[in-house]
C-alpha cells in the first residue's frame, strides 16, 4: 500500500481522497525541520506540505523513494524544484484555488485602512471615544496600484473597479488589462499615482528585498500599503520608518520574512505598536472554502501522477496529460533531455517484440518524460534494460 504524509494541517478532504484511492495516509498539524522531515519520510511515497516546510536537496537525496510532492498552496519556493526534478520527484501546487480568498482579504484591508478601522478599534478598546471623520475616506474614486498582475492581481483589479476605484498595475511581463485598468510603464509611476499600493509577486529569488526604502519614498503622502504576497519581498523596517514619519497613513501585512512553524507559537513584530495597522498571520488563502478547494485539487494531481503518470500542472517536470492505459501496463520514463532516448526506449521494447499501444513524449529544459502503454507485460530483463538507458532519472511501471 503506497503511503502519503500530509503536514501543516492540510484540509481533511485531501487525506480522505487519498485514502479512498488506496493510500495509507499520515497527517501532522505542524511543519517539520529538515532533520525531522528526513526522519518522517521513511517509507513515504507522496508528501503534502504548505508554506512552512522546506524540502531541500538534502531531504530529497536522503529519501530517494519519494515520488511526488504536493504544495497545498500557491507558492513552491519552499521546494528545491531543480533538485526535485533531477531526483525524479514531481511537484504540484494549487495556483488558482485560493485566489478569491486573497483578493477578498486585500479588499477588506483597503476599506478598513481607508476608514482607519484599526486605529478606531484600538482607541475603543482602551476607553477612548474618538468619533471623527479625520483621515477617513471612501475607496470610491481612489487609485489602487497593483504590483504583479497575475491570477490574484488581475482578479483584485476587477473587484476594486467594481467598488469605484481607478486601477493601475505594473508587471515585468506583458499582461492584458482587464476592464479600465491602466498599465504603468514603471514602478515609480505607479507608486507616485496610487492612494493604495498592494503587492502580488511570486517567490522567485529576484524578488527578495524587492520593495524597500526607495520604493516607499516614491509613494504618495498618506497612501496605504498592503503585502499579502511573500514576506521576503518587503523591508518592514523601512515601512515602519515611513509610518512613524507620517508619510504613510496605514498598512496591512499578512506575510513576514520569519514566521512561526505552527499555530500557537509566539510572534513579535515592531509594527505592532503602529496606529492604523492590520497584522494577520499569513491567512490570505486561509478560508474554509479555499482550503477545501486546495485539498481537493492537489490531492487529485498527486493521485493522477501516481496512478496514471500524468504530470498535468506539474511545476518542475514536462507536462503530459494521460488518460486510461491503452495496453497491459504503462511505463513512465523520466530522463535527462538527451538526443536518442525515445529511440532507445522503443528499441528495447522492439527487441523484445513488445508492441506499443500509445506513447507521449514531453521535454522541458534539462528534463524529458516519455509515457508508453505497451500491449504485453515486459519481463524483468526488459525493465532492467529500460532503466539502464543512459540518462535515465527514474522509471515507473503502472499496472492497468
Catalytic annotation, residues: 230, 259, 282
Which strands, in side-by-side order, build the sheet including 277-279?
A: 182-183, 166-170, 143-147, 196-199, 224-227, 250-253, 277-279
d(CA 179, CA 144): 14
Q: What is the Cα–Cα distance from 356 to 111, expressed in whole angstroms? A: 61
Question: Radius of gyration (Cα) for the chain, nearest Å?
Answer: 25
Distance CA 240, CA 238 (A): 5
CA distances 120 to 134, 225, 275, 388, Å, are 11, 18, 9, 69
Those residues whose C-beta lies under 8 Å from the C-beta of residue 6, and which sit 6 or more positions away, are: 14, 15, 25, 26, 27, 28, 47, 48, 72
Alpha helices for the chain (secondary structure H): 12-20, 34-40, 57-62, 81-86, 99-114, 117-125, 151-162, 187-193, 213-217, 236-244, 288-308, 341-351, 380-387
Dist. CA 331–CA 133, nearest whole Å = 69
d(Cα 85, Cα 221) in Å, to the nearest integer?
A: 47
Are 399 and 352 contacting, i.e. CB atoms less than 8 angstroms apart? no
Residue 350, all three cell numbers: 522492439
Distance between CA atoms of residues 130 and 158, nearest Å: 34
Please check whether residue 255 is in contact with residue 282, taking contact to mean a CB–CB distance below 8 angstroms: yes
Neighbouring CB atoms inside 10 A of 194's CB total 26
Give dist(CA 342, CA 116) in Å, integer: 63
The answer to whether the Cα torsion of 78, 91, 40, 22 is positive or negative is positive
Amino acid at each position: 500500500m503506497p503511503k502519503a504524509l500530509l503536514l501543516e494541517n492540510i484540509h481533511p478532504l485531501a487525506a480522505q481522497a487519498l485514502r479512498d484511492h488506496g493510500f495509507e495516509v499520515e497527517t501532522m498539524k505542524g511543519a517539520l525541520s529538515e532533520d525531522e522531515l528526513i526522519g518522517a519520510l521513511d517509507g513515504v511515497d507522496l508528501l503534502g506540505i504548505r508554506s512552512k516546510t522546506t524540502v531541500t536537496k538534502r531531504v530529497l537525496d536522503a529519501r530517494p523513494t519519494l515520488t511526488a510532492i504536493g504544495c497545498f498552496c500557491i507558492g513552491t519556493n519552499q521546494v528545491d524544484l531543480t533538485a526535485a526534478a533531477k531526483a525524479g520527484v514531481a511537484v504540484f501546487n494549487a495556483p488558482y484555488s485560493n485566489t478569491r480568498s486573497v483578493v477578498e482579504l486585500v479588499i477588506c484591508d483597503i476599506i478598513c485602512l481607508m476608514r482607519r478601522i484599526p486605529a478606531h478599534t484600538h482607541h475603543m478598546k482602551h476607553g477612548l471615544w474618538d468619533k471623527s471623520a479625520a483621515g477617513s475616506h471612501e475607496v470610491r474614486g481612489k487609485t489602487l496600484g497593483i504590483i504583479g498582475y497575475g491570477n490574484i492581481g488581475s482578479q483584485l483589479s476587477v473587484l476594486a473597479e467594481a467598488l469605484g476605484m481607478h486601477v493601475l498595475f505594473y508587471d515585468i511581463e506583458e499582461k492584458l488589462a482587464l476592464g479600465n485598468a491602466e498599465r504603468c510603464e514603471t514602478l515609480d509611476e505607479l507608486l507616485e499615482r496610487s492612494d493604495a499600493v498592494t503587492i502580488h509577486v511570486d517567490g522567485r529569488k529576484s524578488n527578495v528585498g524587492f520593495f524597500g526604502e526607495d520604493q516607499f519614498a516614491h509613494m504618495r503622502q498618506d497612501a496605504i500599503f498592503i503585502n499579502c504576497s511573500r514576506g521576503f519581498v518587503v523591508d518592514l523596517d523601512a515601512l515602519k520608518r515611513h509610518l512613524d514619519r507620517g508619510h504613510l497613513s496605514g498598512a496591512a501585512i499578512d506575510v513576514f520574512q520569519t514566521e512561526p512553524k505552527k499555530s500557537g507559537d509566539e510572534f513579535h513584530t515592531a509594527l505592532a505598536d503602529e496606529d492604523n495597522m492590520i497584522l494577520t498571520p499569513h491567512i490570505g488563502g486561509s478560508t474554509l472554502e479555499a482550503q477545501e478547494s486546495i485539498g481537493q485539487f492537489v490531492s487529485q494531481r498527486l493521485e493522477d501522477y501516481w496512478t496514471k503518470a500524468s504530470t498535468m500542472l506539474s511545476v518542475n517536470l514536462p507536462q503530459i496529460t494521460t488518460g486510461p492505459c491503452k495496453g497491459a501496463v504503462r511505463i513512465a520514463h523520466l530522463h535527462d533531455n538527451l538526443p536518442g532516448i525515445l529511440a532507445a526506449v522503443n528499441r528495447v521494447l522492439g527487441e523484445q517484440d513488445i508492441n506499443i499501444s500509445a506513447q507521449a513524449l514531453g521535454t522541458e529544459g534539462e528534463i524529458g518524460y516519455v509515457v508508453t502503454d505497451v500491449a504485453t507485460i515486459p519481463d524483468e530483463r526488459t525493465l532492467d534494460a529500460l532503466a539502464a538507458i543512459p540518462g535515465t532519472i527514474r522509471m515507473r511501471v503502472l499496472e492497468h
